[in-house]
Amino acid sequence: MENAARTQPPDGALQPREPSGEPPPLTPGRRRHSLWERLTPLRWLTPSIAVISLVVAFPAAYMVWMSFLRIDRIGQIDGFTGLANYRRLFAEPALPQIIGNTALWLVVVVGLTVLFSLGLAQFLSKSFFGRRLVRLALIVPWAASLVMTATVWRFIYEGGNGLLNRLLMDIGLLNAPVDWYKDPSVAFFSIMAVGIITSIPFTTYVLLAGLQTIPHEVLEAAKIDGAGPFATYRHITLPLLRPSMLVALVLNMLHVFNAFTVIWVIAGKTAGHHADTTVTWMYKIAFTVQLDPGEAAALAVLNVIFLSLLVAAYVRILRPDRDVTTAASGAGPTRRAAVRAAVSGWSERVNAAVRPAFAPARRAMVHVGRGWARIRPVGLSVIGLLISAFFLAPYAAMLLGSLKSHAELFAVPAPYLPQEWTWSNYVDVWERIPLASYFRVSLTVALVATAAVLLIAAPAAYILARSKFRGRAAFLGIVLVTQMFPAVALLIGLYRQALFVDGVHTFWFIITVNTAFNLAFAIWIMHANISSIPADIDEAAMIDGLGRFRIMLRMILPLAAPALITVTIFTFIQVWNEFVIALTLFNDPANSRVPLTVGVQQFIGLYETNYQYLFAAALMAIIPAVILFALIERRLVSGLTAGSSR
Amino acid sequence: MQTRRTPWTTFAVLATGTALLAAGCGGDDTSSSTGDGQSIRLVVAQYTEGTQPYWENLIDAFEDEHPGHTVDLQVIDWGNLRSQVNTMVQTQQLPDILNINLFADYADAGLLYRADEVMSEERLADFVPSFAENASYDGTQYAFPFVATVNGMYYNTTILDEAGLDGPPQTWDEFRDAAEAIVDLPGDYVPYALALGSEGGTGEFGTWARSNGGDWMIDGEWTVNGERNVETLEFLKELTEDGFTQPNPGQTNRADGTWPLFAQGRVAMVYASFGTRAFMEQVEEAGIDYGVATHPTNHGTEPSTHGIQDYLMAFRKDNNQQAVTDFLDYFYQPENYAEYLRVEGLLPTTESGADEFRDDDEYGQYVELLEFARFDPAAQPVWAELRGTLDSDLGTGVSSNTDPRELLDRIQAIAEAGA
């Protein structure tokens, strides 16, 4: 590893790896050339810098500005007020509880999500009958609108009429119904469970994409050298997975920290702060309780500062800019040696200390292992089936709910199946609201934004992975900041900006906004993935006379297929389900410019919520994402083989 | 190497530049607060699925009758209404006509037309006086009573019969006896389904408080932590602890909580909006034998119902007065107005509307109750904030580790600070 690290250029300008060792003397032409070379990263990053700064900078600055303004209950600005908003915020009696909740939420949800996702990704990287089903099943919770997922979980969590209680009582685990989301002593944990379940699919895919870039030979080598599965995992897989882990952890932290929907939909209308995190509390401060947008902005600013520190500390510890590729990019023999060293080091230690004590256990393990080997194909399929069932269950509940009558939805105990299967809901809903038009609009916005994200993020990710330049880590950090703003806090700034550029209710503006806010994830995921593709490929191609752009296009992007796919799906789903910004900025029924998420709100009345149609529409809205995924899923697998058979 | 402009600095420069540019130009854009006199923007709340179709039809008809006028409609669900309207105010994109559940802050800020500026005297006189008064700020009417609900108690006749009661309890003592009798029945009934969650908790508590001689405001003074109010919250807390309510009333709301329970015949008494379709449809579908009553009282207080009204209001902009006047006049034409009420299943706020519904089989009985309704102090600007806090926190008052008096003291402080 040490050896390989030394082959990297020293910190500084990008250095095209020239075949000759000595740098030629600097002539004027040469100097111009080298300036051009030095500006390469900037040129490659320009599109993303432009989009992000044009779209995000103003609303972000406006949010900060708002935190110093006195804004009255109806939103009128009463002038500059200095730090008064911050003082009021710190005087709130609920503050300590909210901070505690937020910390707990962050640690538990991110921790368990990553833990479960690691296992799941490992599982999905094995080949077994039905693997495709499991992958598809994971897409569903991801593709489903979070609002609808949370709504169906609220139904599942109901007390006397809840499905979970019915199930647990039927199998004898509970004697009396539990008020899963109402009882203040369990509510927050119930919501955490939903937070974890909804974060797992995305995390798993990021990790899976990472696993697939690990060359097969390495694992083979470890096997040949006698490493057990655990040793291989601990010493080979995990270290090689580090870039993806980092991405998964950071993105999860941001995602989970700003998770508004899940908590709000499930517990937003229950009294008290036992389930509030800073984001839901911010909404309460601005719009439902204190009615103080200035104080809410102050909280948003503190949120961003805290998140920045958290991510910075985190990045410092895990150091994404330390070149991880070196571990995998050395030539074959070196890699073997490294593996052997790692494996033998580990086994020696084990041999010395543990072997005598655990001999019987080892023998038992061997037996179990042999038994497992025999049933492995079936066993994996069965486990896969169970996992699929688990992730699909809420949507099965949604499907059944879409067919139940209102009375059945609230019946005690909850019936599993509807009495009458009113499939006509699925036909009627198209006539109740202009659903076809909503689909068209959402599809247009999501597809164009996804394409734009890929186009803009790919060069940025490539150059970030392939050249070392000052400000590289800073850039990676800065793009992440765009993910730290809670949407509700940016809304007013975005709206002002839209007014200024005459972009309210226009396609181009909502697409640009969605593109800008999704670049960060895309750049991070692709950067991590490209980093783990050996750089010798570029070098070889460069010697063959290919330009950088062609190298990226023809060599690297095909190899980064898993990441491209993850990004495509991720972006598509994010844009497809985006609600808060569209509601304000892209909501013009007169000109048929209403996206699906906004349109289905018509089924939510003051007292009457038409769950049948809501659920029906929500389920149908999952379909485009699942189709998209099914179409490119093959590439996900072939990306794997391309990576290993190179 | 040191002086090289890195992407990071470029980025910062770009970002700052854009921010300054946008901040400088995005400031006071008042163009949109000037109407062209022809087109107006209507922002309404979504009550039911029928809301949007109703307004679309009305606007079509209005535009046919008033050539040259156009109305842009925006229907927003209650969950997002407040944040959306705040965004409009802050970015100075005010609607011309707005439908929401409060008005005093807008009146106080001088954003609204006085009612008599955009409506004929004749039409204004048609509003039920108590409603018009509840739409007035500082003695001047600014808002237009839009729709109303009257809220009180529904009881399940079958359960009360089973418990050997011949009618709903009249006093708190009777209420407690009745609850004990009902709890002892074999049917696993809930004597009273209490909803103190943030959707309707303020309304329900206010109704109980008034039945105890308390209120939010008495004779112009805030009395959130008045003795009678404290006593009321303690009483509700006792009910909860004694198991006379469903579990966790502080986290329960009406439409997806207590109302379905009542419709399943599991609840003897519940607080509900009289005649509201969302409630009645389920109850009638399930064939529940029910009756309507006022809440039981204490200290010999006069029984009352709880009136809630939502408002329309017209924002003052250049050149929009005529168009706004025309549209309001068109909406409040008795047939258009009655049609709206039927679509939403809500009660009228005008005398002519009340007359229209008085003979209605279903609504007649509730219309009678309208005039005895008592209102929350919605004409006080601070009420918006107060209600937010009450909605969010009242429900914690019935949990075992909360002191009702302390809670109400804290909320009283907000009222006084804002007054």
User: For A366-410, how does the pLDDT look when each residue is reduced to its tens digit (9 = 90+)?
Assistant: 777 777 777 777 888 999 999 999 999 999 999 999 998 888 888
Give the pLDDT band (50/70/90) at residue B369: confident
Q: What is the pLDDT of residue A354?
A: 53
Q: What is the pLDDT of residue A438?
A: 94
Question: Can you give the length of chain A in residues?
Answer: 646
Chain B residues with beta carbon closer than 8 angstroms to that of A406: 281-282
Record: contact B86-A608, CB cut-off 8 A: no
The fraction of chain B above a pLDDT of 90, given in percent, is: 71
Record: contact A65-B85, CB cut-off 8 A: no
Record: contact B91-A179, CB cut-off 8 A: no
Q: Which two tokens stand for residue A502?
A: 């005459």
The whole-angstrom distance between A34's CA and the closest CA on chain B is: 12
How far apart (Å, rounded) are the C-alpha atoms in residues A156 and A37? 59
Smallest Cα–Cα separation from A84: which of A303, A297, A305, A308? A297
In this complex, the residue of B11, B52, B285 whose CB is nearest that of residue A602 is B52
How far apart (Å, rounded) are the C-alpha atoms in residues A476 and A48? 11
DSSP helix/strand/coil, A70: strand
Cα nearest neighbour of B84 on chain A: A584
Average pLDDT, chain B: 88
The whole-angstrom distance between B97's CA and the closest CA on chain A is: 16
Record: contact A293-B90, CB cut-off 8 A: yes
What would the pLDDT profile of B270-322 be if each residue is shown by its tens digit?
999 988 888 888 899 999 999 999 999 999 999 999 999 999 999 999 999 99
- Please say whether the beta carbons of B373 and B350 come within 8 A: no
Q: Which two tokens stand for residue B328?
A: 């309001």
Record: contact A53-B11, CB cut-off 8 A: yes
Q: Which two tokens stand for residue B8?
A: 């990071």
The fraction of chain B above a pLDDT of 70, given in percent, is: 91
Spell out the domain ranges in chain B: 34-148+309-375, 150-307+380-418
Q: Is the four-CA dihedral A466, A468, A471, A474 of positive or negative sign?
A: positive
Residue A31: pLDDT over 70: no
Second CATH level (architecture) for the domain B34-148+309-375 = 3-Layer(aba) Sandwich (3.40)
Chain A residues with beta carbon closer than 8 angstroms to that of B91: 492, 495-496, 499
How far apart (Å, rounded) are the C-alpha atoms in residues A504 and B267? 49
Record: contact A499-B32, CB cut-off 8 A: yes
- Please say whether the beta carbons of B262 and B156 come within 8 A: yes
Chain B residues with beta carbon closer than 8 angstroms to that of A93: 410
Residue A588: pLDDT over 50: yes
ipTM of the assembly? 0.86
Residue A2: pLDDT over 60: no
Residue A642: pLDDT over 50: no
- Which alpha helices (DSSP H) does A258-292 contain, by range? 261-267, 278-283
Give the pairing of strands B373-375 and B305-314: parallel
How far apart (Å, rounded) are the C-alpha atoms in residues B241 and B418? 34
Chain B residues with beta carbon closer than 8 angstroms to that of A584: 84, 87
Element spanning A514, H or E: helix A507-531
- Peptide bond connecting B303 to the previous residue in cis, omega within 30 degrees of 0: no
Cα nearest neighbour of A432 on chain B: B49
Burial-class residue A609 by CB neighbours within 10 Å (0-12, 13-18, 19+).
Answer: buried
Smallest Cα–Cα separation from A162: which of A462, A413, A504? A413
Residue A466: pLDDT over 80: yes
Residue ranges with strand state E in B143-245: 144-156, 190-193, 217-218, 221-222
> Position of tokens 């995305």?
A202
Cα nearest neighbour of A12 on chain B: B1
- A242-257 helix and A293-318 helix, angle to the nearest 10 degrees: 170
Q: What is the pLDDT of residue A320?
A: 55
CA–CA distance from A219 to each of A22, A232, A236, A366, B145 (Å)?
37, 7, 7, 20, 74
Q: Testing the interface with A: which of B248, B273, B393 to mutate, by most A Cβ within 10 A? A: B248
Separation of CA B267 from chain center: 24
Record: contact A50-B14, CB cut-off 8 A: yes
Question: Is the pLDDT higher at B194 or at A639?
Answer: B194
What is the fold of B150-307+380-418? Answer: D-Maltodextrin-Binding Protein; domain 2 (3.40.190)
In this complex, the residue of B19, B29, B105 whose CB is nearest that of residue A73 is B105
Within a 13 Å sphere around the CA of A118, how many CA atoms are in the beta-carbon half?
A: 17
Element spanning B76, H or E: strand B70-77
Q: Testing the interface with B: which of A274, A433, A608 to mutate, by most B Cβ within 10 A? A: A608
Q: What is the pLDDT of residue A68?
A: 96
Q: Testing the interface with A: which of B40, B73, B251 to mutate, by most A Cβ within 10 A? A: B251
Q: How many CB atoms lie within 10 A of CB B361?
A: 6
Chain A residues with beta carbon closer than 8 angstroms to that of B16: 57
In this complex, the residue of B23, B91, B109 whose CB is nearest that of residue A495 is B91
Chain A residues with beta carbon closer than 8 angstroms to that of B251: 179, 181-184, 187, 267, 270-272
How far apart (Å, rounded) are the C-alpha atoms in residues B109 and B220? 21
Residue A641: pLDDT over 60: no
Secondary structure in 3-state letters for A143-159: HCCHHHHHHHHHHHHCC
Record: contact A499-B4, CB cut-off 8 A: no
Q: What is the pLDDT of residue B370?
A: 75
Those residues with Cβ within 8 angstroms of residue B270's Cβ, 6 or more apart along the chain or in another chain: B153, B154, B155, B192, B193, B258, B259, B261, B262
Average pLDDT, chain A: 83
Record: contact A73-B381, CB cut-off 8 A: yes
The whole-angstrom distance between B417's CA and the closest CA on chain A is: 12
In this complex, the residue of A38, A75, A93 whose CB is nearest that of residue B90 is A75
In this complex, the residue of B8, B82, B91 whose CB is nearest that of residue A287 is B82
Those residues with Cβ within 8 angstroms of residue A628's Cβ, 6 or more apart along the chain or in another chain: A568, A569, A572
DSSP helix/strand/coil, A374: helix
How far apart (Å, rounded) are the C-alpha atoms in residues B197 and A187? 14
Q: What is the pLDDT of residue A25?
A: 53
Element spanning A99, H or E: helix A95-125
Q: Which two tokens stand for residue A431?
A: 């006539």
Residue A331: pLDDT over 80: no
Q: What is the pLDDT of residue A412?
A: 81
DSSP helix/strand/coil, A486: coil
What would the pLDDT profile of A225-237 be if each residue is shown by its tens digit?
877 778 888 888 8
Record: contact B25-A77, CB cut-off 8 A: no
The whole-angstrom distance between A347's CA and the closest CA on chain B is: 46
Record: contact B105-A289, CB cut-off 8 A: no
Residue pairs between chains A and B whose CB atoms are closer than 8 Å: 255
DSSP helix/strand/coil, B290: strand
Record: contact B197-A271, CB cut-off 8 A: yes
Q: Which CATH number fits domain A40-354+423-644: 1.10.3720.10, 3.30.300.130, 3.90.226.10, 1.10.357.140?
A: 1.10.3720.10
How far apart (Å, rounded) are the C-alpha atoms in residues A286 and A21? 62
pTM for this entry: 0.85
Record: contact B384-A291, CB cut-off 8 A: yes
Q: What is the pLDDT of residue A306?
A: 92
Helices then strands, counting H and E runs in chain A, come out as 32, 2
Element spanning B75, H or E: strand B70-77
- Please say whether the beta carbons of A551 and A538 come within 8 A: yes
In this complex, the residue of A58, A159, A432 whose CB is nearest that of residue B23 is A58
What would the pLDDT profile of B209-243 be if each residue is shown by its tens digit?
999 999 999 998 999 999 999 999 999 999 999 99
In this complex, the residue of A293, A410, A601 whose CB is nearest that of residue B260 is A410
Chain B residues with beta carbon closer than 8 angstroms to that of A58: 18-19, 22-23, 26
Record: contact B85-A478, CB cut-off 8 A: no
- Which alpha helices (DSSP H) does A354-486 contain, by range? 355-403, 406-409, 424-432, 435-466, 472-481
Chain B residues with beta carbon closer than 8 angstroms to that of A610: 49
The fraction of chain A above a pLDDT of 90, given in percent, is: 34
What would the pLDDT profile of B154-206 be if each residue is shown by its tens digit?
999 999 999 999 999 999 999 999 999 999 999 889 999 999 998 889 999 99
Chain A residues with beta carbon closer than 8 angstroms to that of B89: 74-76
Average pLDDT over residues A298-320: 84
The whole-angstrom distance between A261's CA and the closest CA on chain B is: 12
Q: Which residues share a beta bridge with A117?
A: none
Please give the torsion angle defined by the CA atoms of residues A13, A18, A22 and A23, in that order, rounded to the nearest 10 degrees. -40
DSSP-derived letter for residue A25 is P
Give the pLDDT band (50/70/90) at residue A222: confident
Please give the torsion angle defined by the CA atoms of residues A385, A388, A394 and A400, in that order, rounded to the nearest 10 degrees. -60
